[in-house]
């Protein structure tokens, strides 16, 4: 079953349109990265899925029901972008409070606090928590009641690299148990191996959505080959020139190899030519990363917004 399905969704705040005809879905057991610059419309999309607002146009179906229906909402976990907690209460007291509000078992409270790495700090007041510890408490809150749909807005803010890797592993386990997960952010460092699909929003428009292979095909960005010469760089350059597939983008690197940018459809022909020539000793192939693809789709319009509106 779909965790959510947005069909032709548009939204405007008063007179300002912020989402334009968005089609986006999430299936159970899938992790979707929702990426976009500041003000792209990520949080607005999440609020529509939570049923906090109604779309101006289009439809939002969530977990087989209506967005905002309490029967649906109780199966959603949400980590907002900026988590704030009452400072005089302990982590355990705060999570117990949220468990009661959500109708989740209080037995889950210490288990979740252990799971997010707050086992030793659960009885300390949250005013003594670091930013990363508050973020972990926010995550524990989102996990209450074993949600079928989990939406995390900027989940790695304040987390160190080890905690970030722990978070991604935890999300992967939840995904494998069937939870649908949305990670909402500017591109998250290191997230690429952990997401099944990415959706790229810019100025309220969905520019691209799909798994990384599909996004690479859609972006049609050059693949970079690192070629180490078997004899001399000049001999290897000659072979590449004759294969004429490099678009002229050939750079000598400091370690004595060549970096060649080639269109994906020309990659195999160039590789075959250099292999057949006997002039290459080693080959490395570098596909565009998620960050590269993101920058490609966001373009200069998106860059102008980075760090801008909020
Ligand atoms: N309550 C509001 N009233 C009017 N405009 C709003 C409101 N909330 C957000 N907006 C506008 O809607 C647009 C989308 O905002 P949104 O918060 O969805 O972006 P975002 O992608 O989550 O950004 P960020 O990465 O900065 O959190 C922005 O132009 C923002 O200024």
Residue range 39-49, pLDDT digits in tens = 999 999 999 99
d(CA 302, CA 189): 18
State the pLDDT at residue 51: 94
Ligand 1 center–CA 39 separation, angstroms: 5
> Closest residue (by CA) to atom 26 of ligand 1?
38
With a cut of 0.85, is the ipTM above it? yes
Average pLDDT over residues 286-301: 84
Which atom of ligand 1 is nearest to 201's Cα? 21
Ligand 1 center–CA 17 separation, angstroms: 10
Task: Reply yes or no on whether the pLDDT at 270 is more than 50.
Answer: yes
Parse the chain into domains and list their residue ranges.
Answer: 2-75+147-217, 222-286
Average pLDDT over residues 124-145: 94
Ligand 1 center–CA 141 separation, angstroms: 24
pLDDT-derived band at 8 (thresholds 50, 70, 90) equals very high
Which atom of ligand 1 is nearest to 37's Cα? 25
Average pLDDT over residues 21-43: 95
Task: Reply yes or no on whether the pLDDT at 28 is more than 60.
Answer: yes
Ligand 1 center–CA 71 separation, angstroms: 27
Task: Reply yes or no on whether the pLDDT at 250 is more than 80.
Answer: no
pLDDT-derived band at 230 (thresholds 50, 70, 90) equals very high
How many CA atoms within 13 Å lie on the side-chain side of 42? Answer: 27
Residue with more model confidence, 264 or 149: 149
d(CA 89, CA 100): 15
> Closest residue (by CA) to atom 29 of ligand 1?
39
Ligand 1 center–CA 43 separation, angstroms: 7
Angle at 129 between CA 123 and CA 135, to 5 degrees: 105
Q: Provide the greatest CA pair distance for the chain.
A: 73
The architecture (CATH level 2) of 2-75+147-217 comes to 3-Layer(aba) Sandwich (3.40)
Task: Reply yes or no on whether the pLDDT at 115 is more than 80.
Answer: yes
Average pLDDT over residues 199-222: 92
Which atom of ligand 1 is nearest to 13's Cα? 4
- Report residue 255 as tokens: 């370690």
- Report residue 212 as tokens: 């990384």
Buried b (16+ CB within 10 A) or exposed e, 296-305: bbbeeebeeb
The architecture (CATH level 2) of 222-286 comes to 2-Layer Sandwich (3.30)
State the pLDDT at residue 247: 59
* DSSP element (H, E) containing 137: helix 131-143
State the pLDDT at residue 173: 93
Which residues share a beta bridge with 3?
A: none
Average pLDDT over residues 127-149: 94
d(CA 87, CA 13): 33
Q: Using a 6 Å CB cutoff, which residues line ligand 1?
A: 13, 16, 18, 36, 38-44, 81, 309-310
Are the C-beta atoms of residues 224 and 247 closer than 8 Å to each other?
no
pTM: 0.85
Question: What's the mean per-residue pLDDT of the chain?
Answer: 89
Rounded to a whole number of angstroms, the distance between the first and last alpha carbons of the chain is 35
State the pLDDT at residue 229: 93
> Closest residue (by CA) to atom 17 of ligand 1?
43
Ligand 1 center–CA 44 separation, angstroms: 6
> Closest residue (by CA) to atom 6 of ligand 1?
13
Task: Reply yes or no on whether the pLDDT at 307 is more than 60.
Answer: no
> Closest residue (by CA) to atom 25 of ligand 1?
38
State the pLDDT at residue 89: 96
> Closest residue (by CA) to atom 24 of ligand 1?
38
> Closest residue (by CA) to atom 5 of ligand 1?
13
Residue with more model confidence, 304 or 215: 215
Which atom of ligand 1 is nearest to 40's Cα? 21
Q: Tell me which of 6, 43, 305 to substitute to probe ligand 1's pocket, judged by most ligand atoms within 8 Å of the beta carbon.
A: 43
């Amino acid at each position: 079953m779909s965790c959510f399905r947005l069909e032709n969704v548009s939204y405007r705040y008063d007179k300002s349109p912020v989402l334009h005809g968005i089609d986006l879905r999430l299936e159970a057991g899938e992790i979707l990265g929702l990426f976009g610059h500041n003000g792209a419309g990520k949080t607005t999309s999440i609020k529509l899925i939570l049923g906090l607002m109604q779309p101006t146009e289009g439809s939002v179906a969530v977990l087989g029901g209506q967005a905002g229906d309490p029967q649906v909402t109780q199966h959603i976990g949400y980590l907002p972008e900026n988590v704030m907690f009452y400072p005089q209460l302990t982590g355990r007291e705060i999570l117990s409070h949220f468990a009661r509000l959500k109708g989740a078992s209080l037995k889950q409270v210490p288990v979740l606090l252990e799971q997010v790495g707050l086992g030793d700090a659960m009885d300390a007041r949250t005013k003594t928590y670091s930013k990363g510890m508050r973020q972990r408490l926010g995550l524990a809150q989102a996990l209450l009641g074993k949600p079928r749909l989990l939406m995390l807005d900027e989940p790695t803010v304040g987390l160190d690299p080890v905690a970030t890797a722990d978070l991604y592993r935890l999300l992967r386990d939840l995904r494998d148990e069937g939870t649908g997960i949305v990670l909402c952010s500017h591109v998250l460092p290191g997230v690429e191996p952990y997401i099944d699909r990415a959706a790229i929003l810019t100025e309220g428009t969905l520019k691209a959505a799909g798994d990384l292979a599909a996004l690479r095909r859609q972006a049609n960005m050059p693949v970079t080959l690192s070629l180490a010469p078997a004899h001399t760089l000049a001999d290897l350059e000659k072979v590449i020139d004759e294969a004429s597939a490099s678009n002229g983008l050939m750079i000598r690197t400091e370690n004595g190899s060549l970096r060649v940018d080639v269109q994906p459809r020309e990659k195999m022909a160039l590789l075959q030519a250099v292999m057949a020539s006997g002039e290459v000793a080693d080959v490395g192939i570098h596909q565009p990363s998620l960050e590269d693809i993101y920058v490609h789709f966001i373009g200069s319009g998106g860059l102008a917004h980075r760090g801008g509106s909020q």
